[in-house]
Amino acid sequence: MNYKIENIKQIIVSKSIKLDCGQTIKDFPIAYETYGELNKEKSNAILIFHALSGDQFVSGTNPVTNKDGWWYTAVGPGKAVDTGKYFIICANVLGGCMGSFGPKNLNLADGEPYGLKFPVITIRDMVRAQESLLEHFKIKKLLSVLGGSMGGMQLLQFCALYPDKTFSAVPIASTASHNAQQIALNELARQAIMSDPLWNKGNYYKDKKSPKNGLAVARMAAHITYMSDKGLQERFGRKLQEKKDYEFTFDADFQVESYLRHQGNVFVDRFDANSYLYLSRAMDYFDLSKQFKNGLVGAFQDHKTKFLIISFSSDWLYPTKNSKDIVIALNASRTNVAFAEIKTDKGHDSFLVNEPEFLETLKGFLDSNYEIFKNEKRI
| pLDDT mean over 344-349 | 97
Predicted TM-score (pTM) of the model is 0.96
How far apart are the C-alpha atoms of 367 and 39, rounded to whole Å?
A: 15
- Band (376; pLDDT cuts 50, 70, 90): confident
Using CB atoms within 10 Å of the CB of residue 145, give its burial: 0 to 12 exposed, 13 to 18 middle, 19+ buried.
buried
**Mutual orientation of helices 123-130 and 273-285 as an angle, nearest 10°?**
100
Has 82 been annotated as catalytic? no
- Band (196; pLDDT cuts 50, 70, 90): very high
Residues 123 and 154 sit within 8 Å (Cβ to Cβ) = yes
In 10 A of CB 47, how many CB atoms? 28
In 10 A of CB 97, how many CB atoms? 25
**Active-site annotation holder among 100, 132, 149, 275:** 149
Strands 87-91 and 45-49: parallel
**Active-site annotation holder among 59, 174, 348, 350:** 348
- Band (167; pLDDT cuts 50, 70, 90): very high
How far apart are the C-alpha atoms of 54 and 33, rounded to whole Å?
A: 13
Averaged pLDDT score across all residues of the chain: 95
Percent of the chain, pLDDT > 70? 98
pLDDT digits (tens, 9 = 90+) for 224-240: 999 999 999 999 899 89
Count the residues in the chain. 379
pLDDT digits (tens, 9 = 90+) for 286-330: 999 999 999 999 999 989 999 999 999 999 999 999 999 999 999
pLDDT at 3: 55
pLDDT at 286: 98
pLDDT over 90 at 82, yes or no: yes
Has 229 been annotated as catalytic? no
pLDDT at 64: 87
pLDDT at 2: 53
pLDDT over 80 at 206, yes or no: yes
Q: Where are the domains of the chain?
A: 9-177+286-378
Task: Give the CATH number of domain 9-177+286-378.
Answer: 3.40.50.1820
- Band (1; pLDDT cuts 50, 70, 90): low
Has 348 been annotated as catalytic? yes
SS3 3: coil
**Active-site annotation holder among 315, 323, 333, 350:** 315
Strands 306-312 and 337-342: parallel
pLDDT digits (tens, 9 = 90+) for 23-81: 999 999 999 999 999 999 999 999 999 999 999 999 999 998 899 999 999 999 999 99
Range list of β-strands (E), 207-362: 306-312, 337-342
pLDDT at 169: 98
* Partners of 106 in the β-ladder: 113
* Partners of 144 in the β-ladder: 46, 168
String of DSSP letters for 27-76: SEEEEEEEES---TT---EEEEE--TT--S--SSB-TTT-SB-TTTTTEE
Percent of the chain, pLDDT > 90? 88
Q: Which residues contact 217 (CB under 8 A, 6 or more apart)?
A: 189, 192, 264
| pLDDT mean over 264-278 | 95
pLDDT over 60 at 364, yes or no: yes
Residue among 2, 219, 202, 212 at smallest CA distance from 103: 202
How far apart are the C-alpha atoms of 162 and 152, rounded to whole Å?
A: 15
Residue among 92, 125, 118, 131 at smallest CA distance from 10: 92
pLDDT at 348: 98
